[in-house]
Amino acid sequence: MTVRPYRLLFDHALARTDPERAHHAAFAALRAAAPVTGRLPRVRGQQVEAMGLRFSHPLGLAAGFDKNAVGIDALGALGFGHVEIGTVTAEPQPGNPRPRLFRLPADRAVVNRMGFNNDGAEVVAARLRSRGRRPGPVLGVNIGKTKVVPEEQAVADYEKSTALLAPYADYLVVNVSSPNTPGLRDLQAVDKLAPLLTAVRARADDVTEHRVPLLVKIAPDLSDDDVLAVADLALDLGLDGVIATNTTIGRDGLETDRAVVEQIGAGGLSGAPLRERADDVMRLLRGRVGPDLTLIGVGGITTAADAQARLAAGATLLQGYTAFIYQGPLWPRTVVKGLG
């Protein structure tokens, strides 16, 4: 299936299906097709050495698609060089009430207020243990705060997830930037973020025989000064990288009718409208941290030209999610091929 026929299928059929139901059905189909897609020629691109890891090319799948580590290798077979699972919380949780996922086709965007629905760190860790170490995409594990845990207990909550999941991660991501868990973004403040990241680093080192790279994921809604403060913190703490950016709570400049947007309500916006701000944040980060720190660019990357622009802005690696929904299963191969 090429990208164009998939676009027609999406616009005339999938777009009329409940987004969350469509996601589960499509993901199940991808997993069922894994014996076939696993025999496809491996996607070859420009290899990237980062954080002591070797990536077959820059493009990976962002957290949020495979929350529970059920389709890592099926997604890798489609052409993603790395797959970031999660966000996983220490305790299992159902997430926010439905409906909680909405498409904005005119903007090639999605609004979600999923609320970190996932099976919990113990179940996901068991799943990763059963999968074992095998050839495939580089595996990132994204961890977040359990909703019912108060802020003053957030560090212990992240430590629990770290202890369970770090042994199976090629790299670990602390997510403090989703808008859908109350109070989570408050943890991006440097005075709160520093002790959290220090604790996660120490716990990861306690439970692994080798050093697992640690990154933090930030929101596009941070002020420029706050972005620079996080960059300085990453250097001070010796983090391995920063992922920029998560979804936005902003709704400016959308083509979708304002009444429709207002009816959808709260949630994080992802997709093409994030591209410009995500580029700007990447340039800010790279200008501050210098050439060596790994920066993963995510947000609004749809075409190979978008990907190239993010790399030019300073990204070491790239991730996508919303474009994968709109463009279909050949999207990662198309982008990687376009990067040359």
CATH of the domain at 116: 3.20.20.70
Yes or no: say if 249 and 308 are a contact pair by the CB < 8 Å rule. no
In 3D, which of 204, 126, 112, 188 has the Cα closest to residue 154?
A: 188
What gap in Å lies between CA 124 and CA 118, rounded to an integer?
Answer: 9
The annotated binding site for FMN is made up of: 63-67, 87, 142, 175, 217, 245, 271, 300, 321-322
Active-site residue list: 178
CA 76 to chain centre: 15
The annotated binding site for substrate is made up of: 67, 112-116, 175, 180, 246-247
In 3D, which of 89, 78, 156 has the Cα closest to residue 124?
A: 89
Yes or no: say if 193 and 175 are a contact pair by the CB < 8 Å rule. no
Q: Which domain holds residue 83?
A: 3-37+46-339
What gap in Å lies between CA 11 and CA 274, rounded to an integer?
Answer: 21
What gap in Å lies between CA 66 and CA 84, rounded to an integer?
Answer: 8
Query: pLDDT tens per residue, the chain (340 residues)?
Result: 445 555 655 665 566 789 999 999 999 999 999 999 988 888 889 999 999 999 999 999 999 999 999 999 999 999 999 999 999 999 999 999 999 999 999 999 999 999 999 999 999 999 999 999 888 999 999 999 999 999 999 999 999 999 999 999 999 999 999 998 988 898 999 999 999 999 999 999 999 999 999 999 999 999 999 999 999 999 999 999 999 999 999 999 999 999 999 999 999 999 999 999 999 999 999 999 999 999 999 999 999 999 999 999 999 999 999 999 999 999 999 999 999 8
Number of domains in the chain: 1
